[in-house]
Amino acid sequence: MSRIRLGVNIDHVATIRNARGENYPSPLRAALIAQKTGADSITIHLREDRRHIKDSDLKIIMANLKIPLNLEIAATQEMQRIALKNKPPYICIVPERRKEITTEGGLNLNYRKNFLKKLIFNLKKNNSRVSLFIEPSLKDIKTAKQLNADCVEIHTGRLCNLINLGKKYKKEIVRIKKAAHLGNKIGLEVHAGHGLTYRSAKILSSVKGIKEFNIGHFLIGESIFEGLNKTIRKFRKIISR
């Protein structure tokens, strides 16, 4: 079986920095440690309200990182302009609502579908790999293909909630398995992310056909106690099947 790639999301290093309006802790420093420790890519989400990552973070991380940067953006004109200018190797298009605490669900692929299609076209033409963050729905997988995305990232929030609450999660795993299977069958690269912990990452790693996990909040939180190196190494081990 192929190795699952680990994308490390460092947004919450910026959250801690911004809480005090200082210039530390540095997201770039976190990105470089993650790179050295074996992360396959670094993810940052430049939100419309800039609540964690800022434009200056994007610039400095792009300039210094050797592994691919995965930029998460909402499907807006402003983010299109920024992505086209900065040319991150990977882009993941995500839904965004100002008042949400985090990205609460997958994209609505039927909302401003023509703009979404054009956005994907423009980003791909600019040499970025384009992924769509979606629910594990067969319909959305098919639509992602029609929109000509390279990849889909399956939102694992529901699965992780069920696991965290000690509830039955088998049905959700089956939903994810079916979505991953269809994605692979029709030529999409399948990724997964949101809410993953050591336990849920381990459970999810048994699903065939998922090539990349993107993990942030738990990983950064755990690093407070264990350090970034150790936490990344532990995730690496857990997801190596």
Tally the C-alpha atoms within 13 A of residue 199's C-alpha that lie toward its C-beta: 9
Is 194 annotated as catalytic?
A: yes
In the region spanning residues 8 to 27, those forming contacts with ligand PXP, defined by CB under 6 A, are 9, 11
Point out the catalytic residue in the list 12, 52, 72, 153.
72
Applying CB under 6 A, among 46, 92, 182, 190 the residue interacting with ligand PXP is: 92
Does 5 participate in binding ligand PXP (rule CB under 6 A)? Answer: no
**197 vs 235: CA distance, rounded Å:** 9
Which listed residue (13, 40, 69, 133) binds ligand PXP by CB under 6 A? 133
Query: Do the beta carbons of residue 170 and residue 118 sit within 8 Å?
Result: no
Say which of 52, 135, 194, 212 is annotated catalytic.
194
8 A C-beta contact, residue 201 and residue 235: yes
Active site residue 72: yes
Q: Are 201 and 239 in contact (CB under 8 A)?
A: yes
Residue (26 or 161) nearer to ligand PXP, CB: 161
Phi, psi of 195 (to 5 degrees): 75, 10
Q: Of the candidates 30, 77, 78, 85, which has an alpha carbon nearest to the alpha carbon of residue 52?
A: 30
Cβ closer to ligand PXP: 74 or 182? 74
Residue 193 engages ligand PXP in binding (rule: CB under 6 A): yes
β-strand partners of 192: 154, 213
Number of residues that bind ligand PXP (CB under 6 A): 19
Contact 136, 177 (CB under 8 A): no
Tell me how far, at minimum, the Cβ of 217 lies from ligand PXP, in Å. 3
Residues 209-238 that bind ligand PXP (CB under 6 A): 214-218
Q: Which residues in 136-175 are b (16+ Cβ under 10 Å) and which e?
A: bbeebbebbbebebbbbbbbbbbbbebbeeeeebeebbeb
Name the residue type at position 6.
L
Q: In angstroms, give the least distance from the CB of 140 to ligand PXP.
A: 14
**In the complex, least distance from residue 157 CB atom to ligand PXP, rounded to whole angstroms:** 7
Closest approach of Cβ 133 to ligand PXP, in Å? Answer: 4
For the chain, the 3-state helix, strand and coil shares in percent, each to the nearest 5, are: 50, 15, 35
Residues 135-174, one symbol each (x = binds ligand PXP by CB under 6 A, - = not), give ------------------x---------------------
Closest distance to ligand PXP from the beta carbon of 104 (Å) = 10
**Interface residue list for ligand PXP (CB under 6 A):** 9, 11, 45, 72, 92, 94, 102-103, 133, 153, 193-196, 214-218
What is the set of active-site residues? 45, 72, 194
